[in-house]
């Protein structure tokens, strides 16, 4: 006979939305059960996404630096030709993940959250059966938080398996593939494609759109495309991928020509979709918004006391959005008056160079004559030059209202600009005007000075240009 359990809050999914909701519920004294049925505590982000990919990207950059030193020197530094043992690198990455897993487990335990490892299946909106290694547990709850996350999109003619891999498998390779073909020129494909190029792989990218990262404006993506071309990455834009046969990917060029690309591995990164199948969502009676669960500004679904957070609720599919929503829901359940209504959710592409976007960009204000736009190049920032971050066309750009100088958006492209993303988001969230940014004494020498100078330039009096 199945064990039965009743709880105040039941959370399905242990990713950044689910586990943060769990910790906050525990802090607020709510009896909470968290069901982890996927990648482990921390979800996709911690286990097979954000964290491990950034570890591999970091290792690849280190390898590239030594390779430059071996190929004639860099900054006066010379070295012997390096070698990469990707199995050791992957083991190091796995160690980071284990450490963070343990940290999340300890935080949940401290917050008195009961964690159950198993797969949930709902029979109605408030009741599910969790299949665990030790048998079934039937759980009923007053409140349910759905945080099931997302999964890679699989192409029917390129099913995952063998040498056709998703980002998950790419992060656990034991050797650098000699020839890697990436299908999809979005941020995941580019981040990993660039990392493997730095590690010595020959890389080709097949993208259906006419340019890379089509959600960003061309000025932001040009420096990335320039890096790819300079480093011998083969770009096939406006192209359609086909089947993978006998070590070759079939594809059709922009002009309709059928061609083949030799590949040891084919990395398919054509997007992610919400994980809505296999756990009884159809039995819960919640309204949908296309493929996503429909929520209001309280993250409430159409079913009373059923909430949803993270990738399940739509774009942007970003870990920090899910975490923020998880906190909001926990506090609402505890009786607080909260809304999820951010001014901006900043996004970062950890490409080479990095891209940051917060708020409105040029594509959002096209045709408007009530917006000031100002750009400041990183090449005019001393710190950028001193760390080789000012020579790839990088810049910081601000958009503001002409009438009251209210900041509308901030973007940047360049090495290490990801670290400015929180400053951009903070200023937008606080409703800052250009004069606020200009009035902050920015530390010298830092890359953040470019934000200061871009704001000064929007006001008509930049200092260093």
- Enumerate the H helices of 334-460 as residue ranges: 382-386, 421-429, 434-439, 449-458
- Average pLDDT of span 286-315: 98
Average pLDDT, the chain: 97
Q: How far apart are CA 411 and CA 420, in angstroms?
A: 10
Q: Is the pLDDT of residue 72 over 90?
A: no
Provide the Cα torsion 211, 217, 223, 228; round to 10°: -20
pLDDT of the residue at 30: 98
Q: Is the pLDDT of residue 76 over 90?
A: yes
pLDDT band at 390 (very low <50, low <70, confident <90, very high): confident
pLDDT of the residue at 424: 98
pLDDT band at 433 (very low <50, low <70, confident <90, very high): very high
- Average pLDDT of span 356-382: 97
pLDDT of the residue at 107: 98
pLDDT of the residue at 23: 98
The pair of three-digit structure tokens given for residue 377, joined into one six-digit string: 């190049």
- Average pLDDT of span 341-361: 98
pLDDT of the residue at 299: 98
Higher pLDDT, 352 or 39: 352
Contacts of 226 (CB under 8 A, 6+ apart): 392, 393
Q: Is the pLDDT of residue 409 over 80?
A: yes
Q: Is the pLDDT of residue 112 over 80?
A: yes
What's the number of CA atoms in the CB half-sphere (13 Å) around residue 238? 6
- Average pLDDT of span 316-332: 98
pLDDT of the residue at 39: 80
Q: How far apart are CA 288 and CA 311, in angstroms?
A: 13
Stretch among 18-22, 69-73, 148-152, 187-191 having the lowest mean pLDDT: 69-73
Q: How far apart are CA 439 and CA 462, in angstroms?
A: 13
pLDDT of the residue at 271: 95
Contacts of 162 (CB under 8 A, 6+ apart): none
pTM: 0.96
Q: Is the pLDDT of residue 167 over 90?
A: yes
What's the number of CA atoms in the CB half-sphere (13 Å) around residue 250? 9
Q: Is the pLDDT of residue 26 over 80?
A: yes
pLDDT of the residue at 152: 96
pLDDT of the residue at 2: 82
pLDDT of the residue at 400: 98
Q: Is the pLDDT of residue 1 over 90?
A: no
Question: Residues 228-235: contacts with CB within 8 Å, 24+ apart?
Answer: 228/190, 228/194, 228/197, 231/197, 232/197, 232/202, 233/193, 233/194, 233/197, 233/203, 233/204, 233/205, 234/202, 234/203, 234/204, 234/205, 234/261, 235/185, 235/204, 235/205, 235/207
The helix (H) or strand (E) run that includes residue 258 is strand 258-262
Name beta bridge partners: 400: 372, 407
**Which residues are marked as active site?**
444
Of 242, 183, 179, 180, which is closest to residue 207 (Cα–Cα)? 183
pLDDT of the residue at 74: 83
The pair of three-digit structure tokens given for residue 403, joined into one six-digit string: 């009438």
- Average pLDDT of span 162-188: 97
pLDDT band at 97 (very low <50, low <70, confident <90, very high): very high
Each residue's pLDDT tens digit, 244-289: 999 999 999 999 999 999 999 999 999 999 999 999 999 999 999 9
Q: How far apart are CA 217 and CA 191, in angstroms?
A: 18
Q: Is the pLDDT of residue 465 over 90?
A: yes
pLDDT band at 216 (very low <50, low <70, confident <90, very high): very high
Q: Is the pLDDT of residue 38 over 80?
A: no
- Average pLDDT of span 438-457: 98
């Amino acid at each position: 006979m199945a064990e039965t359990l009743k709880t105040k809050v039941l959370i399905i999914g242990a990713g950044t939305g689910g586990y943060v909701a769990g910790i906050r519920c525990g802090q607020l004294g709510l009896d909470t059960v968290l069901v982890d049925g996927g990648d482990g505590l921390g979800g996709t982000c911690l286990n097979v996404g954000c964290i491990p990919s950034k570890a591999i990207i970091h290792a690849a950059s280190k390898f590239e630096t030594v390779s430059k030193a071996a190929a004639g020197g860099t900054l006066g530094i010379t070295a012997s030709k390096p070698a990469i043992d990707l199995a050791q690198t992957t083991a190091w990455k796995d160690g980071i993940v284990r450490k963070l897993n343990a940290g999340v487990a300890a935080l949940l335990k401290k917050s008195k959250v009961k964690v159950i490892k198993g797969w949930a299946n709902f029979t109605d909106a408030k009741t599910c059966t969790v299949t665990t290694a030790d048998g079934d547990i039937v759980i009923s709850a007053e409140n349910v938080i759905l945080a099931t996350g997302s999964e890679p999109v699989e192409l029917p003619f390129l099913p995952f398996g063998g040498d056709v891999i998703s980002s998950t498998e790419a992060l656990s390779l034991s050797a650098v593939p000699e020839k890697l073909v990436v299908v999809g020129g979005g941020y995941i494909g580019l981040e990993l494609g660039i990392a493997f190029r730095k590690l010595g792989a020959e890389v080709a990218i097949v993208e259906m759109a006419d340019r890379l990262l089509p959600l960003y404006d061309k000025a932001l993506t040009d420096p990335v495309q320039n890096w790819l071309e300079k480093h011998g990455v083969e770009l096939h834009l406006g192209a359609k991928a086909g089947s993978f046969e006998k070590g070759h990917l079939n594809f059709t060029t922009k002009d309709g020509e059928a061609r083949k690309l030799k590949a040891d591995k084919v990395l398919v990164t054509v997007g992610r979709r919400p994980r809505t199948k296999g756990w009884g969502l159809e039995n819960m009676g919640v309204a949908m918004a296309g493929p996503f669960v429909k929520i209001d500004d309280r993250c409430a679904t159409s079913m009373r006391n059923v909430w949803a957070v993270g990738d399940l609720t739509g774009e942007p599919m970003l870990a920090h959005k899910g975490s923020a929503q998880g906190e909001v829901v926990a506090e609402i359940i505890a009786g607080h008056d909260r809304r999820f209504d951010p001014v901006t959710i900043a996004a970062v592409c950890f490409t080479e160079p990095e891209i940051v976007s917060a708020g409105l960009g040029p594509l959002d204000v096209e045709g408007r004559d009530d917006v000031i736009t100002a750009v400041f190049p990183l090449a005019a920032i001393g710190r950028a030059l001193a760390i080789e971050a000012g020579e790839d066309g990088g810049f910081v750009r601000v958009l503001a209202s002409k009438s009251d100088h209210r900041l509308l958006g901030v973007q940047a492209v360049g090495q290490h600009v990801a670290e400015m993303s929180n400053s951009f988001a903070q200023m937008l969230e606080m409703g800052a005007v250009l004069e606020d940014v200009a009035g902050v004494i920015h530390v010298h020498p830092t890359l953040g000075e470019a934000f200061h100078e871009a704001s000064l330039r929007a006001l008509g009096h930049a200092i260093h240009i």
